[in-house]
Amino acid sequence: MTDIGFIGLGIMGRPMAEHLIAGGHRLHASSHHKPVAPDLVEKGVVVHAAPREVAAASEVVFLMLPDTPQVEDVLFSPGGIAAGLAAGKIVVDMSSISPMATKDFARRIEAAGGLYLDAPVSGGEVGAKAASLTIMVGGPEDAFARVKDLFALMGKNITLVGGNGDGQTTKVANQIIVALTIEAVGEALLFASKAGADPAKVRQALMGGFAASRILEVHGERMVKRSFDPGFRIGLHQKDLNLALQGARTLGLSLPNTATAQELFNACIAHGGRDWDHSAMVRALELMANHAITATTPAKED
What are the pLDDT digits (tens) for 2-57?
999 999 999 899 999 999 999 999 999 998 888 899 999 999 999 999 999 999 99
Cite the DSSP H helix spans in 65-198. Answer: 68-76, 99-111, 124-130, 141-151, 166-194
Phi, psi for 162 (deg, rounded to 5): 175, -145
- The number of residues in the chain equals 302
Does residue 299 carry a pLDDT above 50?
Answer: no
Helices then strands, counting H and E runs in the chain, come out as: 13, 9
Does residue 295 carry a pLDDT above 70?
Answer: no
pLDDT of residue 203: 98
DSSP state of 42: H
> CA dihedral defined by 91, 97, 99, 100, rounded to 10 degrees?
-100
Which DSSP helix (H) or strand (E) runs through 218? helix 214-225
Percent of the residues in the chain that have a pLDDT greater than 70, as a whole number: 97
Q: Of the listed 148, 156, 171, 194, which one is catalytic?
A: 171
Does residue 246 carry a pLDDT above 90?
Answer: yes
pLDDT of residue 296: 59
pLDDT of residue 131: 97
Q: Other CB atoms closer than 10 Å to residue 179's CB: what's the count?
A: 25
61 Cβ contact list (under 8 Å, min separation 6): 4, 5, 6, 7, 51, 54, 55, 81, 89, 90, 91, 92
* Model confidence pTM above 0.85: yes
Does residue 297 carry a pLDDT above 60?
Answer: no
Model confidence pLDDT, tens digit, residues 156-189: 999 999 999 999 999 999 999 999 999 999 999 9
Question: pLDDT class for 200, splitting at 50, 70, 90?
Answer: very high
Say whether 103 is catalytic: no
